[in-house]
Structure 1
Amino acid sequence: MDRVRHLHGPALRYFAAVAEAGSIRAAARELHVASSAVNRQILWLERTLGHELFDRLGRGVRLTEAGEVLRAHVLRTLSDFEATAGELDALTAMRRGTVEIATVESVAESLLPGVIAAFRDKFPGVHVSVRLASSDKVAAAIIAGEADVGFTFEPPEDNRLAIAFYQDLAIGAVMHPRHPLAAEAPLSFGQCLAYPVCLPARGLSLRKRIDVVLSETPIRERAHVEANSLKLMKAIARSGDTIAFQTILGLEREIAEGSLLFRTLTDAPLQRDRFTILATAHRALSRAAQAFFDHSVAALRDRLSLIDADPAS
């Protein structure tokens, strides 16, 4: 019998339960079967694939590299099945469904609330789930099948990702209106370093571009703040003479009320931080997820066209 037909039986269910629980005994309790039955299925799966899937520890198990690969397959398979079930439930009208979204913080704060509200007006029966993550982890969630739609900056080049829309946004200095540099124009990153600064933490797309400039203009003899929360960085900039750095996304309200200023910087690496809307390139979205994806692209293309940037799609 073909191996693929074997693998899409109970063995994968048992494997997924053990990977989730971190223990064969705990997985057996969840499955309401004997531990020996679960262990036999895992051993059979390892023999069939020719790879050890778990490292056996004292009181549990840990996925090996091969196990991580198989787990990603299982997640994609389950996601595809759920999407298919949703399609069957919605042959005549999209009454139900689920959309899993992964997004960076700035988009969640400034753009997503309006996008989701408008979508829910059209499709009130669709469940929308949102998780916040760093830019790298948003892309990873799409690749692993853990999210349907991703909103992020500077995703990796990967043929498993489909980019339906992108727009380049400048990184600027964010400061209190009474900051000594508030009236300076043009303004460089080096000028900002004469004052206290708050840098985005490593792992954020903003920091990758700032590090390019820092390699030529390092911070000397001055301690600085690092944070992985744009909301915290904004609060720090509002509270004194510290300068933060980000794109204009997530700053619209503060700029409108006059509590913060956004000043574009002259340094070439800071002229572009690429905002993207992502989906997987390797499977079809459910009707609900596809509807949200299309709605998001249309809504954000209109919204971001109002920002003075270099749009492309």
Structure 2
Amino acid sequence: MALHILPRPLQYLEAVARTGSIQAASRSLGIAASAIDRQIIALEDSCQTPLFERHARGMRLTAAGETALQMARRWRADEDRLETELRNMRGEQHGTVRLAAMDSMANTILPALVDDFALRYPRINLSIDIMTPREAGRELDNGSIDLAIAFNLPNDRNRHVLWSSPLPFGCVVGRGHPLWGREGVALTEAAQHPIAAQSRVLPSREYLDQRYGWLFDPVEPALVTNSLQLLKQILAQGRLMALSSRLDMLAELETGVLSFVPLTDKRLRPQSISVVVDARRMMPRAARLVGEALATTVPQRLAALDAAVSDQADPPLR
């Protein structure tokens, strides 16, 4: 049985913020609209400030309301952690684990993780949100997630790294591209080919802009997109190349649709990929199991990809 220790006014605030109106929250919760309205007004009176802007088309959180919502989410996350720890003390493998992950893992690492846990730990539930590294760091600090797997998370004394690894950049191309099958290429040579680039809102492009912005100046990329799926489809056509990591394109590299050509420049700094938790909070056993699974699965998949590429490059002697 759930603990339900989150105060009712905060439950109602969450529902109104999620649905956009008192009436919609009423339908969602099965609670009378008048009861929800009274609780919201009482909460605003206690806070001595409006938590919502009220419009003809609905309600929108004020800055104070956003702060209250963050507190509600932290409270709910702590409620789940307490329930999980109590179950652990009773010897039950049970709980909900909140994970922040990158979009590039949505068709590779994450489906395998969900399938593995459904088989091995059927009483552990996963709540996975796709976030940017900046969002993941913020939500980890807020306590609304249990752990994050993200690119280039900065060092922070409040974070504990369960696992981390460098993630080098390379040129990703499709069949028919001049770089297909190359064992390596210098960055200056790679820059001579038309580029398909991720948009600046995505972590890999942000990292490249900070260190190798000259790649995109003065020549604009032939394609800029915030859709990793579109980018991979375009690369498969064999005309454009992208600078990316193997993890971004893992499924297509595993199937041979795309090829990864390492950059040979010795001074290039790779990205990093890390599994991180908040060092200030007790880590539930279920979350630790998820962290351990990620720390095992990601390097295994990358190592298997390297082995497959090596086998193709060096066919067995007859």
Say whether residues 1:294 and 2:292 are aligned partners: yes
Of 143, 165, 168, 2:166 maps to 168
- CA distance in 1 between counterparts of 2:174 and 2:302 reads 25
Deviation, 1:173, is: 0.7
Q: Does structure 1 conserve the Cα–Cα contact (< 8 Å) formed by 2:153 and 2:274?
A: yes
| Segment of structure 1 superposing worse, 73-82 or 189-198 | 189-198
The SS at the match of 1:61 is strand
Deviation, 1:166, is: 1.4
| Segment of structure 1 superposing worse, 223-232 or 163-172 | 223-232
Q: 1:255 to 1:56 in 2, by over 3 A?
A: closer
Deviation, 1:48, is: 2.9
Q: 1:57 to 1:298 in 2, by over 3 A?
A: same
Of 54, 57, 64, 2:55 maps to 57
- CA distance in 2 between counterparts of 1:105 and 1:34 reads 37
Gaps of 5+ in 1: 1-6, 309-313
Of 262, 265, 271, 2:263 maps to 265
| Segment of structure 1 superposing worse, 120-129 or 202-211 | 120-129
Q: Does structure 1 conserve the Cα–Cα contact (< 8 Å) formed by 2:51 and 2:61?
A: yes
Deviation, 1:232, is: 2.9
Count of residues paired in the alignment? 301
Deviation, 1:75, is: 0.8
The SS at the match of 2:67 is helix
The SS at the match of 1:271 is coil
Q: 1:42 to 1:156 in 2, by over 3 A?
A: farther
Deviation, 1:196, is: 1.9
Runs of 4 or more consecutive aligned structure 1 residues displaced over 6 Å after TM superposition: 305-308
- Over the matched positions of the two proteins, sequence identity in percent amounts to 29
Structural mapping, 1:219-234, within 5 Å:
219-220=217-218, 224-234=222-232
Structure 2 residue identity aligned to 1:16: E
- CA distance in 2 between counterparts of 1:108 and 1:28 reads 33
Q: 1:143 to 1:203 in 2, by over 3 A?
A: farther
Q: Does structure 1 conserve the Cα–Cα contact (< 8 Å) formed by 2:6 and 2:76?
A: no
Structure 2 residue identity aligned to 1:191: E
Aligned equivalent of 2:31: 32
Aligned equivalent of 1:94: 92
Structural mapping, 1:227-246, within 5 Å:
227-246=225-244
Of 134, 140, 143, 1:142 maps to 140
Of 71, 74, 78, 2:72 maps to 74
Of 199, 207, 210, 2:208 maps to 210
Gaps of 5+ in 2: 307-318
Say whether residues 1:20 and 2:6 are aligned partners: no
- CA distance in 2 between counterparts of 1:306 and 1:76 reads 38
| Segment of structure 1 superposing worse, 181-190 or 101-110 | 181-190
The SS at the match of 1:72 is helix
Q: Does structure 1 conserve the Cα–Cα contact (< 8 Å) formed by 2:198 and 2:225?
A: yes
Aligned equivalent of 1:187: 185
- CA distance in 1 between counterparts of 2:83 and 2:279 reads 20
The alignment's TM-score, normalised by the length of structure 2, stands at: 0.78
Deviations 1:27-82 (A, max 9, x none): 355352352x4444333333433433222223422111121111111011112212
| Segment of structure 1 superposing worse, 58-67 or 110-119 | 110-119
Q: 1:130 to 1:10 in 2, by over 3 A?
A: closer
Q: Does structure 2 conserve the Cα–Cα contact (< 8 Å) formed by 1:213 and 1:267?
A: no
Q: Does structure 2 conserve the Cα–Cα contact (< 8 Å) formed by 1:205 and 1:273?
A: no
| Segment of structure 1 superposing worse, 199-208 or 148-157 | 148-157
The alignment's TM-score, normalised by the length of structure 1, stands at: 0.79
Q: 1:62 to 1:88 in 2, by over 3 A?
A: same
- CA distance in 2 between counterparts of 1:192 and 1:99 reads 42
Say whether residues 1:84 and 2:91 are aligned partners: no
Structure 1 residue identity aligned to 2:237: S
Of 278, 281, 284, 1:280 maps to 278
Say whether residues 1:110 and 2:108 are aligned partners: yes
The SS at the match of 1:289 is helix
